[in-house]
Amino acid sequence: MKRIYLDNSATTPIDPLVLESMTTAMTENYGNPSSIHAEGRKARATIEEARKRIANQLNCSIGEIFFTSGGTEASNMVLKNSVRDLGVGHIISSPLEHHCVLHSLDSIKESGAARISFVKVDREGKVDLDHLRELLAAANEKTLVSLMHANNEVGTLLPLDEVSKICQDNGALFHTDTVQTIGYYPIDLDKIPISFLAGSAHKFYGPKGIGFVYINGDNIIKPYLDGGAQERNMRGGTENLYGIVGMATALELAYVNLEARQKQIRLLRDYLGVQLENNVPGVEYNGDPIGGHYKILSVSFPKSPKGEMLLMNLDMAGISASGGSACSSGIDVGSHVVGHLHPDSERHTVRFSLNHHNTKEEIDYVVKELKKML
Ligand code: PLP
């Protein structure tokens, strides 16, 4: 049975062209980038070229991109080191952030190094910008605002330009987790002032275990991993050259094909919504299905005994979706995002997240199976 993969917010399949670029690098580019001989120089040049390819897509300078192991490390680094190195004494975030942000905030709070405030969000997960302004106006300490661009569970989008302006007007630093939007929306760092931004290759058809952090040239934080002088002294350890090459290729492909992919995914996602509404009684959405991320449809179904086993039954029918985010422990413990937006709800949530390889036939099959299951 051919499987139907609708869990692209958890991760995406690697693009064959990305794989090709990586296997070429693996076979032909094995030097240690820190070595001074020819093999080392070749590897170093490849890494710096990849950095340039990534910076070009985001319209920033190459000196502002630092490679990390992914989005988790990028956000940990920004939050913890801006408190440690930049005198940040207050962080404003939202209760809907990814755990890599929320748990970093927990440990900052525990250490007593900075105060944490949470901005209000509405039932669709939209940030209350007036409340953000109030929190900023009332703060006496150096403040960093950390808000994700698109929520990975429900897809609600943040108006990046507006939030960046609010931060600028209030002299606050701005960190945004763009893990779900890099490669899906154009991001021009020359136009939108952002202090820190996190990206992860496996969300845009690149390899796992590689990502990057953008650090605006004005906000120099110190190394996250102590070791060698890699990443211009920002992160010790031999670079993941193959991952870096794959990520640069994936990002270029994502932006070259942006419009076509966007159109195709949005059409299919909207088709899924219409078909669900027409065939399954009591369908509702979490988040902002019209204005939110075009690849995500977070659907909820009325409480029913059959609903308890929905994800497992979908899996057995060859369909991969998720209950919220991909759970790191392998046990679905429910979603903190959906729980926050609908605290009293007993409905069953399924997050469908699409890619440009999905087809209308796949969607028809999914709706047919769901109809049977419910
Ligand atoms: N931030 C968001 C919004 C995500 O969806 C994810 C992955 O699920 C991460 C951060 C973590 O990224 P990584 O898997 O690269 O550590």
C-alpha pair distances (Å), 153 with each of 5, 149, 364: 16, 12, 23
Q: How far apart are CA 86 and CA 221, in angstroms?
A: 7
| Residues in contact with ligand 1 (CB, 6 Å cut-off) | 70-72, 98, 100, 148, 152, 177, 179-180, 200, 211, 325
Q: How far apart are CA 142 and CA 201, in angstroms?
A: 31
| Closest-lying ligand 1 atom to the alpha carbon of residue 100 | 10
Tens digits of per-residue pLDDT, 251-260? 999 999 999 9
Tokens of 85: 């190195």
Residue 77 CA to ligand 1 center (angstroms) comes to 14
343 contact partners, CB below 8 Å, separation of at least 6: none
State which H helix or E strand residue 90 sits in. Answer: strand 90-93
Does the pLDDT of residue 195 top 70, yes or no? Answer: yes
Q: How far apart are CA 370 and CA 374, in angstroms?
A: 6
Nearest to 84, CA basis, from 221, 228, 178, 213? 221
pLDDT, residue 267, reads 98
Q: How far apart are CA 79 and CA 73, in angstroms?
A: 10
- Position with higher pLDDT, 273 vs 374: 273
Q: How far apart are CA 134 and CA 138, in angstroms?
A: 6
Residue 200 CA to ligand 1 center (angstroms) comes to 7
Q: How far apart are CA 291 and CA 23, in angstroms?
A: 39
How crowded is the C-beta side of 349, counted as CA atoms within 13 Å?
27
Nearest to 361, CA basis, from 2, 12, 8? 2
Q: How far apart are CA 20 and CA 40, in angstroms?
A: 21
**pTM of the predicted protein model:** 0.96
Residue 90 CA to ligand 1 center (angstroms) comes to 23
pLDDT band, residue 325 (cuts 50/70/90)? low
In order of their start, the domains of the chain are 4-12+258-373 (3.90.1150.10), 16-256 (3.40.640.10)
Average pLDDT along the chain: 95
Tens digits of per-residue pLDDT, 129-151? 999 999 999 999 999 999 999 99
| Closest-lying ligand 1 atom to the alpha carbon of residue 201 | 15
Q: How far apart are CA 276 and CA 269, in angstroms?
A: 11
Residue 255 CA to ligand 1 center (angstroms) comes to 20
Query: What positions carry a catalytic annotation?
Result: 327
147: how many CB neighbours lie within 10 A of its CB?
A: 22
| Closest-lying ligand 1 atom to the alpha carbon of residue 148 | 3
pLDDT band, residue 306 (cuts 50/70/90)? confident
